[in-house]
C-alpha cells in the first residue's frame, strides 16, 4: 500500500474562511495532527473521582488478545471490568479494597485473588494495579511506563497506546466515556457467585479463549 502523503499549496493570502475549511477537511481525512489538550483539561481528567467507558482493547505481552470491555472505576481503588458476549457477560471482574473477584457467569466459575499487578496480568494480560489502570485511562502515564501516547477528545483520551515497563503493549479505543458521571457503588460489589466453582487464572483465560 502506498502511504498517504498530505500536502497542500501555500494558503498565504487565502480568505480566512477558506483556510478554516481546508483545515477541517485535512482533519477529517486524518492529515492534521490532533491538538494537545490544555493543561486544565489534563488536570481535570487526572482528578476524576469516577469514570465509565466502552473500550476496544488489544494487549500484546505475556498474554495476547483483543476484546470489547466495559470499564468503570471509583477512586481510590474500585474498578470494574466487564467483557460482554452475545448472550450476556462473559466476564465480570471487580477489584475493591485490594481484592479481585472475577466471575464467568456462563461457566459458573469464580476467581478470587489479591488485586495486584501480577494477578491483573494473569487474568487480563495488563500488569497494572487498579489505580495505575485508572491513570492510564484518564491520560496519566503509569509509573515506569516506557511510552505513552493519547489522542484526546474534549475531556478525555479517545485512543491510548502504551508500552508498559515489562514491554507489554496496550492499545485502547475509547467510546462513550463518561467523565465524572455517577457510577453506582453497587457496581463495584463482588459479583454474585454462590455455588460457583473456584478456578485459577490459567483456567479463566482458557475459558475466555485467551492465550
Which of 143, 142, 162 is closest to 151 using CA atoms? 162
pLDDT at 21: 54
Tell me whether residue 27 is in a domain: no
For residue 111, what pLDDT is reported?
97
pLDDT of residue 35: 72
Contact by Cβ (8 Å): 44, 175: no
On whether residue 3 sits in a domain, the answer given is no
Q: What is the pLDDT of residue 57?
A: 98
Answer yes or no: are the C-beta atoms of 103 and 109 closer than 8 Å: yes
Residue 23 covered by a domain: no
In-domain check, residue 140: yes
Q: How far is residue 185 from each of residues 2, 73, 137, measured CA to CA in Å?
A: 51, 10, 20
H or E element in which residue 208 lies: helix 201-208
Q: Where are the alpha helices (DSSP H) in 62-139?
A: 117-124, 130-137
131 within 8 A of 42, measured Cβ to Cβ? no
* Cell numbers at 194, concatenated: 454462590
Residue 48 belongs to domain spanning:
39-208
Is 189 part of a structural domain of the chain?
yes
Q: Is residue 19 in some structural domain? A: no
d(CA 180, CA 37): 18
Q: Which neighbouring-strand residues pair with 102?
A: 93, 111
Q: Is 58 domain-assigned?
A: yes
Provide the residue-wise pLDDT of the chain in tens; the chain has 211 residues.
444 434 344 444 445 555 455 455 545 555 555 677 899 999 999 999 999 999 999 999 988 999 999 999 999 999 999 999 998 999 999 999 999 999 999 999 999 999 999 999 999 999 999 999 999 999 999 999 999 999 999 999 999 999 999 999 999 999 999 877 778 889 999 999 999 999 999 999 999 885 5
pLDDT at 7: 39
Domain count, the chain: 1
Alpha-carbon Rg for the chain in angstroms: 20
Backbone angles phi and psi of 101, in degrees to 5:
-125, 120
Assigned domain for 17 exists = no
CATH of the domain at 152: 2.50.20.10
Amino acid at each position: 500500500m502506498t502511504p498517504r502523503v498530505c500536502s497542500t499549496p501555500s494558503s498565504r493570502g487565502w480568505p480566512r474562511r477558506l483556510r478554516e475549511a481546508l483545515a477541517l477537511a485535512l482533519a477529517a481525512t486524518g492529515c492534521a495532527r490532533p491538538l494537545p489538550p490544555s493543561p486544565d483539561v489534563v488536570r481535570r481528567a487526572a482528578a476524576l473521582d469516577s469514570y465509565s467507558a466502552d473500550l476496544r482493547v488489544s494487549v500484546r505481552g505475556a498474554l495476547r488478545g483483543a476484546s470489547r470491555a466495559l470499564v468503570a472505576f471509583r477512586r481510590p481503588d474500585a474498578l470494574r471490568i466487564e467483557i460482554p458476549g452475545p448472550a450476556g457477560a462473559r466476564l465480570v471482574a471487580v477489584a475493591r479494597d485490594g481484592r479481585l473477584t472475577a466471575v464467568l457467569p456462563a461457566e459458573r466459575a469464580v476467581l478470587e485473588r489479591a488485586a495486584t499487578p501480577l494477578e491483573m496480568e494473569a487474568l487480563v494480560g495488563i500488569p497494572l494495579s487498579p489505580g495505575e489502570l485508572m491513570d492510564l485511562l484518564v491520560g496519566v502515564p503509569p509509573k515506569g511506563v516506557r511510552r505513552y501516547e493519547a489522542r484526546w477528545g474534549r475531556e478525555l483520551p479517545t485512543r491510548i497506546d502504551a508500552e508498559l515497563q515489562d514491554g507489554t503493549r496496550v492499545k485502547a479505543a475509547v467510546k462513550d466515556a463518561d467523565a465524572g458521571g455517577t457510577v453506582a457503588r453497587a457496581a463495584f460489589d463482588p459479583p454474585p457467585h454462590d455455588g460457583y466453582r473456584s478456578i485459577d487464572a490459567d483456567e479463566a483465560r482458557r475459558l475466555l479463549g485467551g492465550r
